[in-house]
Chains A and B, each alone.
Chain A
């Protein structure tokens, strides 16, 4: 069931109706049932996988809870007779005892993800390697990839680690836990909400409140608008450019950078808007996943504002533990002695950064494109960090510049193009083609000739009204986003009944009449849903 299908809309409306008519303490059960129906509709074979993940992480978390309680009781009883050192030793020992549950749960679930998502990639790599030695290689099996696996594995492992760290309470009721993992608006593409933020909300009663329904509903429409009017229409041109990397070069690649940014923004933030809006209509507040990312002035800032919940997952559960782990500390000491303080300080952090970005790339997809994409992001962040003293000097010389809006704009545009350029690795079929296409920007100036006359539209496969739809749509999104920095526009609108009703009407009309959906278009599913 794609978010933009009539079936999904009907399904969501029915769920909402039932949700608000059943007795309040049964509301979470309604959500659980619809979540499983939603997941089942994607294919019955996916269900066992998500169930195994739910069951395994639930059991491991309970194991950790049991150990925690035993140790807490012991400590409470004997605290007075123990010295500080004894207490420390006891705590360390306690940690060791609960660690197997954590390690077991993580290894098991990441193994599932690894096997299902990366077997084909690794094996074809192995085959290429064997081919060098003239060996025939192994056949690459085609495994099923359960829908949303990258997201639900992340959500459940984050829960397990949080329980281990004592940041959230382990859930005793498996049905309640299953809802947290499979909650249907978020199961396919996040946001990756943390258990302690989201889970309690499911089990408090929710009344149908106007503010929730109106603001949530408006946000759903807004999401559809971004997805169907902007992203899907621009996707036609993106496909056209990507399909002929040999002929559509130079100017077209620049255009691709801009258009694909529009696609990925409309598609992903639009999808998240639908998710968050729908949850909001149920009275639930999910974690925000975007904070005006294209206004970022640096790559680091961009990654704090784009796909926030994924970024914080990698920071909290990969980068932080990795950079202060014992081997890293050793590495740091060793390099400080041998290579000097500057390198010694940097080496572990830089290594951890690159590993984190390598994994981030890998998580996005099993292909070299994504790995290179991840590593490039990491490299850009590290390089700009090394350059920061230079920037500081520059700003000391021109102190007035830093606060000027124009300079901020320049930084934002620079970051936009930098991120957009790296992002086209998503589009082309492999890494060399991407680099070749990008290279053509610097020598193929003839392609700019196509800008004049009707040739451009024809080669992009767009009609004039579609270009206007993309341009106007983008402008509206930009204005709304810009204004929302001070106060969310959607909130403001939904507080005024007439404005709200008119906005909904206009959005519905624009989506239905000018949207890119149905036959005649290669109506794509949300990219972030199909890919994961």
Chain B
């Protein structure tokens, strides 16, 4: 979870990712950021997020993202 926050903070250091739950909806993350996040997650967790999982609800908060990573890693 903390690692996710790290990844996100690297992209936008002015956002409090522990509380924000509308990252996509409020336009904080754009497509550039999402691709960057996906590649970071691949590097750090060895988890490949497929295209079909690029949905607002999976990227709207650090928590949701963490849940996605865990789910994909669980298999």
A54 to B75 CA separation, bound complex (whole angstroms): 33
A91 to chain B, nearest CB (A): 6
Residues of B within 8 A of A319 (CB): 31
Q: Is B13 an interface residue (CB 8 A)?
A: no
When each residue 158-197 of chain A gets 1 if its CB lies under 8 Å from chain B and 0 otherwise, what string results? 0000000111000000000000000000000000000000
Indicate if the CB atoms of A345 and B75 lie closer than 8 Å. no
In chain A, what residue has the closest Cβ to B36? A345
Known: A346-B32, A348-B35, A385-B30. A320 touches B75 (CB 8 A): no
Indicate if the CB atoms of A345 and B49 lie closer than 8 Å. no
Contact of B31 among A87, A166, A323 (CB under 8 A): A323
Indicate if the CB atoms of B32 and A320 lie closer than 8 Å. no
Residues of A within 8 A of B50 (CB): 165
Known: A165-B52, A329-B42, A385-B30. A323 touches B35 (CB 8 A): yes
Known: A91-B75, A329-B39, A329-B42. A349 touches B52 (CB 8 A): no
Residues of B within 8 A of A349 (CB): 31-32, 35
| Interface residues in B, total, Cβ within 8 A | 15
Q: Is B54 an interface residue (CB 8 A)?
A: yes
Q: Is A84 an interface residue (CB 8 A)?
A: yes
Indicate if the CB atoms of A324 and B75 lie closer than 8 Å. no
When each residue 316-328 of chain A gets 1 if its CB lies under 8 Å from chain B and 0 otherwise, what string results? 1001110110001
In chain B, what residue has the closest Cβ to A353? B31
A171 to B67 CA separation, bound complex (whole angstroms): 31
B70 to chain A, nearest CB (A): 12
A316 to B54 CA separation, bound complex (whole angstroms): 8
A319 to B32 CA separation, bound complex (whole angstroms): 12
A345 to B42 CA separation, bound complex (whole angstroms): 15
A332 to B43 CA separation, bound complex (whole angstroms): 13
Indicate if the CB atoms of B35 and A324 lie closer than 8 Å. yes
Q: Is A88 an interface residue (CB 8 A)?
A: yes
Contact of B49 among A91, A324, A385 (CB under 8 A): A324
In chain B, what residue has the closest Cβ to A85? B75
Within 8 A of B (CB), among A309-339: 316, 319-321, 323-324, 328-329, 332
Indicate if the CB atoms of B51 and A320 lie closer than 8 Å. yes
Contact of B32 among A166, A167, A345 (CB under 8 A): A345
Q: Is B64 an interface residue (CB 8 A)?
A: no
A356 to B31 CA separation, bound complex (whole angstroms): 13
Contact of A320 among B36, B39, B54 (CB under 8 A): B54
B74 to chain A, nearest CB (A): 8
- Sort A-B residue pairs by CB-CB distance and give the 10 closest, nearest first: A165-B52, A321-B51, A320-B51, A87-B75, A320-B54, A88-B75, A349-B32, A323-B35, A324-B38, A349-B35
Chain B positions within 8 Å of A, measured between CB atoms, are: 30-32, 35-36, 38-39, 42, 49-52, 54, 74-75
List 14 contacting pairs A-B, 8 Å CB cutoff, sorted by A: A87-B75, A165-B50, A165-B51, A166-B52, A319-B31, A320-B54, A323-B31, A324-B35, A324-B39, A332-B35, A332-B39, A348-B35, A349-B32, A349-B35
